[in-house]
Amino acid sequence: MVALFLAILSALLTPTLSAPAGISIPHVDPSKILCRLPILQNIWITCPSNGKAALNRQTSLGTANGVEDPNGAYRFAVRYGNAARFQPSSVVTSWDLPNGSNNASALPLACPQPDIDASAYSEDCLSMILYVPPSLTVTSQAPTLVWIHGGSFIVGSSSGAGLDGSKLAIATNSIVAVIQYRLGAPGFLAPNGQTNLAVKDVVTGLNFLKKVLPYFGGSPSKVTLAGQSAGANMIRALLAVPSASSLFRSAILQSDPMNFGFLSPTTYSALKNDFVSRTGCSATDNACLNGLSVAALISASMATFNAGLSISPAAGQAQPIRPVLDGSYIAAPLDSTGTFPPQTKPLLITTVAQEAGWAIYKSFSDPLPEFALPSVCEFSLGSDRTATVLNQQLYQPIPNAGGDPDARAQLQLIGTDQLWKCSGWTFTRSWVQNGGTAYVGQYVVGSTYPGNELVPFCTQSGVVCHQDDIQIVFGTVENPTSAQSALITETQSRYKNFLANGNPNPSGLSAWPAATSSNVHPKLLGGTGEATVGACDPSFWGSSVQYDYQYYHNY
């Protein structure tokens, strides 16, 4: 219809008379007029923007300017929220490109973080990128997948490696929204005591989507949250926020380090006070705090992050800055240390086969003798938990290529089970026992995520390290193998079904049984059958050996 209308308009606007000598009649581009016609506000139109084809869409917040992504979807970058430093965010009142840009093809600047150029980040960073399949119309009522990036709550962005949502959007016929939120102390350790600002940023983003999704063919009642690592941790926090429950109907948690749990108010206060002391300001001196440079904020935030374990053992080593169980916004721990509330939402909970591989083999580049195992374990688990773990014979010595035992292999298994796999299964059983539905999976095929190639262990055949599932889900693997291609197709098909009805079992694929309180049925993704239970038996991790959230419960 648009093409026909354009053709008619072009014919009407094309001069049919010869111009008098010496007078030029300019050609009128009908698309430029089309872009301004109110009658076409509710259909896609292609308009010029800075020399590139752009797509305009009229919304309740104004005109959304986007471009066609190289992978086929329509891409819209947008600023979704406003926030002053250390204050809660609010939904924008108009549609604006991120960072004051007038280039619809530009991607948002990241939130302030270490190890990137200052020109790549901005405090004005509450932005997201929408990927919309060309097939959608305003009447489609399509689902939306909101992706929350990981990065230990200190790094990451909506334009991170592998997060182009175009292929995923087209494969699932859904809108994919990749969101970013405040990181480090600005998002989690506000000196004024305002807790969980980053969690509230995501809620602000969800409220923004509720306003605009209908104009892109999406249904506000069909939103699924998905995220990996810290992004999955963020989703678990949102599952514990009663006021956010109506904003999404299902969730996908990939590689959530559930062993840590939420911060306690005591540990949060200790971390917050440490951060404030490193700024050189007092907690009540707003002029001083607001006058700090962004570089100074990052420096103080990272100093607290790196000192987290020494500030409080409950903070843990890898993700000391994280959501806090403040008792008001986040109302329940969602673990065995408190009453688990009734649940109704369906979840997908997945891990990868060698979650701890990158951390262990990066820390110990050479084989580790067996006699070193207890002392290394004690650094993370303490002496009593280490003794229980090693006395149960569940983690036997594994020889390296030369035939000698390499304690790194045992440490990798222990770390994977404690931080991700077994703690995730424990959470699953609690979720199901309290009325929710859950499907558990383990990736045994992956794609080496940028950075993981620096650790040779993670590039070995059959090894799937932390983050190696991301490009499988998004379909952004470069030159995929046949096994990767097959898993991408399967995963996106299962996600499409899950987004539609909360069940990852489309016709034509092998059955993925729902978890029960006694058997989580962990499906091997990229393999056949189910993962072995091993040490994830509920009588071991979480019982004989406590998770950190249990062990440090009184901190």
Nearest-angstrom CA–CA distance, 262 and 211: 30
Residue 476 pLDDT greater than 60, yes or no: yes
Residue 352 in contact with residue 465, Cβ under 8 Å?
Answer: yes
Question: 185-202 pLDDT, tens per residue?
Answer: 999 999 999 999 999 999
| Residue 357, H or E segment | helix 357-363
Other beta carbons within 10 angstroms of residue 6's beta carbon come to 16
Name the residue type at position 515. Answer: A
pLDDT at residue 54 in the model: 67
Mean pLDDT to the nearest integer, 369-394: 94
Taking the alpha carbons at both ends of the chain, their separation in whole angstroms is 65
Other beta carbons within 10 angstroms of residue 347's beta carbon come to 26
Residue 420 pLDDT greater than 50, yes or no: yes
pLDDT at residue 46 in the model: 44
User: DSSP secondary-structure letter at 120?
Assistant: G
User: Maximum CA pair distance of the chain?
Assistant: 99
Residue 58 pLDDT greater than 60, yes or no: yes
Residue 408 in contact with residue 315, Cβ under 8 Å?
Answer: no
The answer to whether 44-315 and 346-551 have equal CATH topology is yes
Residue 302 in contact with residue 277, Cβ under 8 Å?
Answer: no
Find the radius of gyration of the CA atoms of the chain.
25
Residue 68 in contact with residue 52, Cβ under 8 Å?
Answer: no
Confidence of residue 398 (pLDDT cuts 50, 70, 90): confident
Residue 170 in contact with residue 77, Cβ under 8 Å?
Answer: no
Residue 321 in contact with residue 230, Cβ under 8 Å?
Answer: no
Q: Which CATH superfamily is domain 346-551 in?
A: Alpha/Beta hydrolase fold, catalytic domain (3.40.50.1820)
pLDDT at residue 446 in the model: 98
Mean pLDDT to the nearest integer, 456-475: 97
Residue 462 pLDDT greater than 60, yes or no: yes
Nearest-angstrom CA–CA distance, 502 and 224: 9
Confidence of residue 20 (pLDDT cuts 50, 70, 90): very low
Question: 44-315: which CATH number, 3.30.70.1020, 3.40.50.1820, 3.30.465.10, 3.40.50.2020?
Answer: 3.40.50.1820
Domain ranges for the chain, please list them. 44-315, 346-551
Confidence of residue 42 (pLDDT cuts 50, 70, 90): very low
Nearest-angstrom CA–CA distance, 464 and 445: 6
221 or 16, higher pLDDT: 221
Residues in CB range of 351: below 8 A, 6 or more apart = 254, 255, 416, 420, 421, 424, 441, 442, 443
Question: 257-280 pLDDT, tens per residue?
Answer: 999 999 999 999 999 999 999 999
Confidence of residue 12 (pLDDT cuts 50, 70, 90): very low
Mean pLDDT to the nearest integer, 244-266: 98
Question: 346-361 pLDDT, tens per residue?
Answer: 999 999 999 999 999 9
Angle (nearest 5°) at CA 229 between 420 and 531: 35
Residue 236 pLDDT greater than 90, yes or no: yes
106 or 24, higher pLDDT: 106
Nearest-angstrom CA–CA distance, 547 and 553: 10
Residue 35 pLDDT greater than 60, yes or no: no
pLDDT at residue 152 in the model: 98
Question: 499-524 pLDDT, tens per residue?
Answer: 999 999 999 999 999 999 999 999 99
Backbone angles phi, psi at 75, to 5 degrees: -115, 130
Mean pLDDT for the chain? 91
| DSSP collapsed to 3 states, 286-345 | HHHHHHCCHHHHHHHHHHHHHCHHHHCHHHCCCCCCCCECCCCCCCCCCCCCCCCCCCCC
Nearest-angstrom CA–CA distance, 145 and 126: 18
